């Protein structure tokens, strides 16, 4: 065992625990060797500057000099593998490097009671360390703000994790049977991708996907969850003893925690409204870069945002009418009209979330692909989608409708989870951006524009939409724009227009009608080559004739 720091006998030892075995895990990517030394000791101590340390002493036979490794407690993470077994990991202090897994020890206590007291003591010392000022050691800061903290407003994060810490919200997702059932099928049907593999569940919530992965034969699953739900996940997993031995719940953000080994496959459900809301895709990508082996798999693998213009006079009137309240000239003697314009714009800045009839679409949809295996985290800060449609009917255009799907590119059965209109409704429904200035198009007329989404620090996006109708009929060859309409929307503040629990669904006897085959719906995974997936197809899918 190599010693990080030789510690002499006069150190202030607080408490120590005898170990029946201690293994120094060699975690560099070229070697997977472990050297086992029996017995050993782990102890809480302080270095000469009084800084709390976790020290490992290997050997321990009478009179012999023991190798000692001292790790600064602020750098150490501990994972309990079983009643008497744990892994201690320590990252680098050097901020110029990535936070690598520089040291790892697998330790086995003599008794469960020792293990329990050790973990209690660790919590206490870790707490003490957290209360200390960030300090400089070897010219580097010992604590740092994670990527998550740097870009996300603390109050937004607090509310976000509070929300996910509640069972009722996890239940809402679990009761979306389209969602959970598709995940279950994707995992179980692709058992070959999980069997004997190390899995990381990114944002594990209740732990359901970790349990699915373990059912599919995963060798070990690390379930990373930042909210208080991690404690419930532990409970749920412990209550499923045939699987629990192979699952370790780690409470913390994927941007911050350390794991004892790399993953062969990541599983996650990071999709928000319009795919990108909540900005959790960025955490999924960070987890990929931190934990996934080269060529590792990701479930889901790819996501697509679908966009199409729609016509819905009822919806438009409903929104415009809400602002009528502010047109009263004498509300208890007060003229409200000075605020009418602001209220009108305010209502139109809310994207509408509901399930709509796909017959409201004015043109076949197009889609934008996000390949989770390749996209850079920074690419998700701004999503820019150029729009181009050909109107299939003469109609008034009130805005754009959006939905998404994701592909689990399993090696046995690729599977899609879709949130398309007309498909079985999910808890994501669909999303529509309604323009305060609608415009008319004729059948065959081209509609162009841009959907530009810019991430903000409240875990969502500001959406800028521009739609233009190009010249149509004689003289259109020369090009030119007839009219343009723009809108600005806050994805964080949607208008949930859900009246029926199930929303709109195409009646079963009409599901074969071409109008009910929006692109994406009628695409079977087996029909899609991966190369096709990465080239956005234009206007394929719907037969509007
Ligand atoms: C949409 S829920 C999915 C929960 C669960 N995987 C499921 O499918 O039922 C996303 C979960 O990820 C967690 N989460 C979001 N961002 C995270 C992050 N950066 N690190 C760890 N957990 C995160 C949330 O607290 C939430 O429980």
ipTM over 0.90 threshold = yes
Cβ 227 under 6 angstroms from ligand 1: yes
Cβ 247 under 6 angstroms from ligand 1: no
- Separation CA 459–CA 283 (nearest Å): 11
Question: Looking at ligand 1, which residue's alpha carbon is closest to its atom 27?
Answer: 205
For residue 256, give the ligand 1 atom closest to its CA. Answer: 20
Where are any strands of DSSP class E within 95-197? 101-109, 136-137, 140-141
- Separation CA 235–CA 237 (nearest Å): 5
Who contacts 314 (Cβ-Cβ below 8 Å, separation ≥6)?
Answer: none
Pocket test for ligand 1, best of 145, 159, 164, 174 (most atoms within 8 A of CB): 164
Question: Looking at ligand 1, which residue's alpha carbon is closest to its atom 8?
Answer: 269
How far lies 223's CA from each of 202, 207, 233, 234, in Å?
7, 7, 9, 9
483-504 residue pLDDT tens: 999 999 999 999 999 875 555 6
Tell me if 108 sits within 8 A of 19, measured CB to CB: yes
- Separation CA 171–CA 169 (nearest Å): 5
227-244 residue pLDDT tens: 999 999 999 999 999 999
Please give the model's pTM, rounded to 2 decimal places: 0.73
Q: Which token pair is 367?
A: 């889609």
Tell me if 455 sits within 8 A of 279, measured CB to CB: yes
Alpha carbon distance, N-terminus to C-terminus of the chain: 74
Cβ 393 under 6 angstroms from ligand 1: no
Cα 408 to averaged position of ligand 1 atoms, centre (Å): 18
Cα 202 to averaged position of ligand 1 atoms, centre (Å): 7
Q: Which token pair is 153?
A: 């407003």
Cβ 299 under 6 angstroms from ligand 1: no
Burial 459-470 (b: 16+ CB within 10 A, else e): bbbbbbbebbbb
Question: Looking at ligand 1, which residue's alpha carbon is closest to its atom 10?
Answer: 203
Cα 58 to averaged position of ligand 1 atoms, centre (Å): 39
Cα 210 to averaged position of ligand 1 atoms, centre (Å): 12
How high is the pLDDT of residue 117? 86
Q: Which token pair is 439?
A: 């415009």
How high is the pLDDT of residue 85? 87
Question: Which residue numbers are catalytic?
Answer: 269, 278
Cα 204 to averaged position of ligand 1 atoms, centre (Å): 5
Task: State the burial class of residue 120 (Cβ atoms within 10 Å of its Cβ: 0-12, 13-18, 19+).
Answer: exposed
- Average pLDDT of 299-319? 98
Kindly indicate the confidence band of residue 505, based on its pLDDT and cuts at 50, 70 and 90.
low
For residue 161, give the ligand 1 atom closest to its CA. Answer: 25
Kindly indicate the confidence band of residue 77, based on its pLDDT and cuts at 50, 70 and 90.
confident
368: β partners: 305
pLDDT above 90 (res 407): yes
238-287 residue pLDDT tens: 999 999 999 999 999 999 999 999 999 999 999 999 999 999 999 999 99
Cα 499 to averaged position of ligand 1 atoms, centre (Å): 27
- Average pLDDT of 308-325? 97
3-state secondary structure of 242: helix
How high is the pLDDT of residue 216? 98
Question: Looking at ligand 1, which residue's alpha carbon is closest to its atom 14?
Answer: 203
Average pLDDT, the chain: 83
How high is the pLDDT of residue 32? 41
Cβ 205 under 6 angstroms from ligand 1: yes
Q: Where are the alpha helices (DSSP H) in 88-153?
A: 112-131, 147-151
How high is the pLDDT of residue 286? 98
415-433 residue pLDDT tens: 999 999 999 999 999 999 9
């Amino acid at each position: 065992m190599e010693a990080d720091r030789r510690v002499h006998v006069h150190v202030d030892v607080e408490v120590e625990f005898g170990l029946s075995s201690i293994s120094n895990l060699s975690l560099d990517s070229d070697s997977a060797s472990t050297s086992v030394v029996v017995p050993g000791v782990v102890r809480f101590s302080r270095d000469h500057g009084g800084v709390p340390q976790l020290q490992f002493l290997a050997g321990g036979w009478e009179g012999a000099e023991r190798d000692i490794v001292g790790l600064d407690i602020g750098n150490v993470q501990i994972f309990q593998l079983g009643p008497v077994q744990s892994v201690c990991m320590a990252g680098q202090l050097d901020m110029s490097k990535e936070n690598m897994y520089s040291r790892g020890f697998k330790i086995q206590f003599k008794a469960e009671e020792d293990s329990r007291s050790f973990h209690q003591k660790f919590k206490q010392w870790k707490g003490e360390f957290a209360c200390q000022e960030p300090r400089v050691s070897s010219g580097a800061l010992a604590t740092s703000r994670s990527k998550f903290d740097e870009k996300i407003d603390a109050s937004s994060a607090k509310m976000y994790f509070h929300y996910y810490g509640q069972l009722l919200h996890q239940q809402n997702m679990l009761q979306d049977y389209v969602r959970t059932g598709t995940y279950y099928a994707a995992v179980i049907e692709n058992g070959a991708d999980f069997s004997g593999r190390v899995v990381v569940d990114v944002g594990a919530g209740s732990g359901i996907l970790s349990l699915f992965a373990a059912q599919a034969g995963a060798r070990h699953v690390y379930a990373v969850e930042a909210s208080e739900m991690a404690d419930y996940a532990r409970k749920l997993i412990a209550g499923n003893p045939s699987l629990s031995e192979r699952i370790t719940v780690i409470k913390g953000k994927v941007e911050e925690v350390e794991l004892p080994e790399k993953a062969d496959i990541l599983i996650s459900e990071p999709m928000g409204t319009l795919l990108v809301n909540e900005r959790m895709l960025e955490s999924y990508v960070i987890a990929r870069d931190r934990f996934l082996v080269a060529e590792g798999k990701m479930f889901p693998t790819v996501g697509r945002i679908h966009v199409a213009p729609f016509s819905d006079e009822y919806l438009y009137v409903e929104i415009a009418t809400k602002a009528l309240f502010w047109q009263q000239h004498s509300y208890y003697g007060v003229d409200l009209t000075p605020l009418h314009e602001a209220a009108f714009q305010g209502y139109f800045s809310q994207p509408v979330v509901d399930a709509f009839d796909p017959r409201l679409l004015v043109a076949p949809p197009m889609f934008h692909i996000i390949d989770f295996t390749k996209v850079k985290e920074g690419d998700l800060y701004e999503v820019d989608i150029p729009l181009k449609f050909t109107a299939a009917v003469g109609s008034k255009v009130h805005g754009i409708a959006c939905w998404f799907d994701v592909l689990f590119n399993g090696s046995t059965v690729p599977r899609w989870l879709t949130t398309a209109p007309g498909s079985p409704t999910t808890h994501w429904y669909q999303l529509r951006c309604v323009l305060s200035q609608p415009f008319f198009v004729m059948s065959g007329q081209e509609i162009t524009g841009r959907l530009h989404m810019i991430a903000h620090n409240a875990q969502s996006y500001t959406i800028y939409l521009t739609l233009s109708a190009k010249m149509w009929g004689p003289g259109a060859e020369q090009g030119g724009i007839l009219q343009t309409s723009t809108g600005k929307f806050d994805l964080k503040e949607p208008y949930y227009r859900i009246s029926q629990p199930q929303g709109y669904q195409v009646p079963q006897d009409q599901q074969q009608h071409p109008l009910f085959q929006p692109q994406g719906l009628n695409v079977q995974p087996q029909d899609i080559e991966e190369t096709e997936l990465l080239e956005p197809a234009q206007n394929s899918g719907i037969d509007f004739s």
